[in-house]
Amino acid sequence: MQALSFKPVRQPLRFYAVVPDADWVERMVQAGADTVQLRNKTLQGAALRAEIERCVAACAGTQTQLFINDYWQQAIEAGAYGVHLGQEDMDDADLAAIARAGLRLGLSTHSVAELDRALAVRPSYVASGAVFPTTTKQMPTAPQGLDNLRRYVAQAGNTPVVAIGGIDLHNAAEVLAAGAASLAVVRAVTEAADPAAAVKAFQALWA
């Protein structure tokens, strides 16, 4: 695989909300989330393009960094800040086109081997997990735990590591203590009684 180099993130990723639609992206921007990812598995065609464009518009002129999960072509067309891809997506995506377009790239990893593969293309960040058990998606591997996360952080060197999987306010501090640069959450914000307050509570961990 061709070695590439993607732009570093503009500012620390820190609190990273993974949400299902543009409504949620807008809510996270209003709450001041550092980073947000649109992960939508249902829309296609024009509806998908419109959703991505709406997310890009919501983040324009704000400090929130927007990543689009999977749909790299539409992300390029809409002028998104970045793209997030899984390991299997690395086989099909035109990574050179993403780099040429100036988008940041995040890659999912679940093992030492996958992390090696991801680091070879010099992404903007790598995501490692699931750290703890999670119900939001079917994971290909068992929960990695904090010891493995520490190993991944050391292996990644200067590349920021986003920890994901089963993270909430009860375990977030120990995940950061293991060296993660960023905490990615799904249910901890989408199922929160007050999502905006949840964002602030997570962000206070970096204060």
- Rounded to the nearest 10 degrees, the angle between the axes of helix 145-156 and helix 112-119 is 20
β-bridge mates for residue 19, sequence order:
38
Dist CA 105 CA 121 (whole Å): 10
Binding residues: 37-41, 69-70, 89, 108, 134-137, 166
Binding residues for Mg(2+): 70, 89
3-state SS record for 122-137: CCCEEEEECCCCCCCC
Contact at 8 Å (CB) between 113 and 152? Answer: no
The conformation of residue 71, written as its DSSP 8-state character, comes to -
Dist CA 40 CA 70 (whole Å): 9
Residue 104: CA count within 13 A, CB half-sphere: 22
